[in-house]
Amino acid sequence: MAKTKLLFITHEMSPFLELTKISEITRQLPQAMQDKGFEIRILMPRFGNINERRNRLHEVIRLSGMNIIIDDNDNPLIIKVASIPSARMQVYFLDNEEYFQRKHVFRDNNNKFFEDNDERTIFFCKGALETVKKLGWSPDVVHCHGWMSSLVPVYLKTTYKDDPTFKNAKVVYSVYENCFAENLNADFARKAIMNGMSAKHTEMFKGSDCDSLHIGAITYSDAVVFGNEEISEEVVNFTKASEKPLLEFEGTADYENYYSLYEEISSEDLVSLA
C-alpha cells in the first residue's frame, strides 16, 4: 500500500526559525507522522535571519527559476533545501531577495509591521504550490500552519482544483493565536486573486486582519485544528458552525489525534466532511 503523502506549509520551524510555539509543533508533528509511515515534505520561507551556513541550506537549481506574479509584477522564486539529520527530513525554503532578505521577520527594528506583509504572504502561498508542482509530488493531505499560509486552502479549491498534483488533496488548517494586531494592506484580497478565481473567492479575506485570514482559510479547508488554547471567539464560533472536522487544542505532545484526523479526511470512503 502506498504511503500517505503529507505536506506541511508553515512560516516557522525549529531549529531554523523559532518565534512561537508553532516552531515546536511543525518540528515534532512531521517527525511523528514520518515515524508512522507517512511520506513528508515541509515548506517555509527563507527569512533573512535564517543562517544559511549554520543550517547548511543550498539552492535546488532544478526547482528555482520560477516567477510568481503579484499585482502584475514578476517576482523570482529561489528554492533552497536543508536536512534535519536526526530526523531524515528535508525542508524546502522559498526565497526572494525583495520579500525575505531582511534582518527581521514581520516587523522592522522599530517594531513596525512591514507594509508588504500582504504580498509576502501571497508570494509564499503561490510559491509553495508551484514548488510542489515542480517537485512532481502529489500530497494526499496539505496541512497549513498559521496566518501566512492562509491563502493555500482557497488556491487549492479554485485555481489548483483540477491540477493533477493537487486534485485529490485534502486541506487542514491550524489556527494559532500568535498573530498580529494590525491589518494587512487594504488591497490584500484583490491582490490575492489568481486565475480561475473571482473577487467572491477572497471576500472572506477582505478585512485583512488576523481573524479574517483564519476565517478565509477555514472556509476552504476540509478540517481545522486549534493550535492554541486561546482562539478568538469569532473564529471558534465560525469553525463550529461550519461543522467541519475539528481537532480541539490539547496541551500534550501526543500526535495520535493528528494521525487519526489525517486518516479520516484522506480516506477514500469518506462520503461527507460535515
This prediction has a pTM of 0.94
101, amino acid identity: Q
Q: Is 202 helix (H, G, I), strand (E, B) or coil?
A: helix
Q: What is the pLDDT of residues 121-159, one digit of tens each?
A: 999 999 999 999 999 999 999 999 999 999 999 999 999
Q: What is the pLDDT of residues 56-105, one digit of tens each?
A: 999 999 988 899 999 989 999 999 999 987 888 899 999 999 999 998 99
The angle formed by the CA atoms of residues 258, 166 and 207, to the nearest 5 degrees, is: 75
Closest CA relative to residue 91, chosen from 23, 143, 43, 47? 43
How far from 165 is each of 123, 129, 133, 236, 263, CA to CA, in Å? 19, 9, 6, 31, 19
Q: What is the CATH number of domain 5-266?
A: 3.40.50.2000
What's the rounded Cα separation, in Å, for the pair 121 and 13? 17
What's the rounded Cα separation, in Å, for the pair 188 and 125? 13
For the chain, what is the total number of helices (H) and then of strands (E)?
Answer: 9, 10
